[in-house]
Amino acid sequence: MRIDVLTVLPHLFDCFLGEGIIGRAIQSKKVEVNVVNIRDFALDKHKVVDDVPYGGGPGMVLKPEPIFRAYEELTKEGVKPYVILTEPWGETFNQGMALELSKKERLLIICGRYEGVDERVKKLVDKEVSIGDYVLSGGELPAMVIMDAVIRLLPGVLGNEESLKADSFMDRGLLGYPNYTRPAEFRGMRVPEVLLSGHHKRIELWRKEQSLRKTLERKPEVIEKLKKENLLTKEELKLLEKVEKELRGGKES
Ligand code: SAM
């Protein structure tokens, strides 16, 4: 996959792209990330990329010409990218969208700043994406959020792909199970005995139960949907019954 990012603050990406899973994915060429300074495509000698809004009002707006010029330069050859514009009113980003985007050969993310981008930039855009109902100063953090979630889904990026399957939202929308590491006892808090048992089947069942419990407690609508669409196994339905009983204050079966 190749990802181009258009921004007026390219250095914000330096640390993000050099460290951890993302840094390793780039080094091992699982993904190519190209951060482009919109300012390099400004038309005047002062490299101006913003201007006052027509109709008056506060703030500045990112001009369309440098963004169009950058887009045209970047797409002169190769696959046409799927273009994302970060916007607080865009479609809310989630794991499903991350999975969809991870299948694209090429993405181009345009980061807004100031009061936003000139509306005519939308002509280039396939999807406007929000990372939540709050307003940030720019689209750079949303672009990093999107890239992180997408890149870790690319084949070969995570050392152990099993960990992807255990992640929240990856299996029918269920949430993940709790994790513990050594020591077995810390300040009077003990790791659940089953995890120390070495009994793989029991551990798997316990984790499944915890995942169902957490989903039922925090996202009951997901469980409701899975039940309605018959997407739970017999074993899961049995575990769920036990969890529901416990949550209602009944005795463990
Ligand atoms: N004038 C805009 C409004 O009415 O909501 C707010 C602009 S905001 C200060 C500047 C830029 O940050 C936006 O153009 C967008 O690119 C980015 N941004 C801010 N919040 C965001 C969010 N929740 N999700 C995605 N992008 C966001």
Domain ranges of the chain: 2-151, 167-252
**89 CA → ligand 1 middle, Å:** 8
Pocket of ligand 1 (CB under 6 A): 86-88, 111-113, 115-116, 130-132, 134-139, 142
Residue 159's pLDDT is 85
Note the CATH architecture for domain 167-252. Answer: Orthogonal Bundle (1.10)
pLDDT band at 160 (very low <50, low <70, confident <90, very high): confident
**147 CA → ligand 1 middle, Å:** 17
How far apart CA 163 and CA 166 sit, in angstroms, is 5
Q: Whose CA is nearest to atom 23 of ligand 1?
A: 88
How far apart CA 125 and CA 118 sit, in angstroms, is 12
What is the number of residues in the chain?
Answer: 253
Residue 161's pLDDT is 82
pLDDT digits over 95-148, tens only? 999 999 999 999 999 999 999 999 999 999 999 999 999 999 999 999 999 999
pLDDT at 172 over 70: yes
Share of the chain above pLDDT 90, in %: 95
pLDDT at 214 over 70: yes
Residue 253's pLDDT is 46
Question: Could you give phi then psi for residue 113, rounded to 5 degrees?
Answer: -150, 175
Residue 162's pLDDT is 85
Number of CB atoms found within 10 A of residue 113's CB: 22
CATH 3.50.50.60 fits 2-151, yes or no: no
Cβ 168 vs Cβ 175: under 8 Å: yes
Q: Active-site residue among 87, 152, 209, 213?
A: 152
pTM for the full predicted model: 0.96
Residue 167 annotated as catalytic: yes
Report the atom number in ligand 1 closest to the C-alpha of 116: 14
pLDDT band at 250 (very low <50, low <70, confident <90, very high): low
Report the atom number in ligand 1 closest to the C-alpha of 114: 10
Q: Whose CA is nearest to atom 12 of ligand 1?
A: 138
Mutate to test the pocket of ligand 1, among 111, 125, 129, 135 (most ligand atoms within 8 A of CB): 135
